[in-house]
Amino acid sequence: MDEDLFKKVGCEKMPMVQVNVWKGFEQEKIDYLIKNITKAFVDVDVPAEAVEILIYEVPKSHWGVGGESCSIKFKDVGPQE
């Protein structure tokens, strides 16, 4: 990666966006997120080549909301494990 690229956009490091989704999230939706999150940075003059996006799939049983596992709290919502 060209280090001058970061100087041109006024930042020292590339933006890195981390997204957590439930395991089983559709690949089409992941592709959509990658494309459009990158576009949001491009819209504020950050080169697409400088944008990194990491999408983590987490089992609903390992994600809790309000003291309860999402596999129980949201058993009828989203991808099924």
Catalytic residue list: 15
Amino acid letter, residue 31:
D
Cα 2 to chain centroid, rounded: 24
Strand 16-22 to strand 64-65: parallel, antiparallel, or no bridges (unpaired)?
unpaired
CB within 8 Å of 58: residues ≥ 6 apart: 20, 21, 22, 23
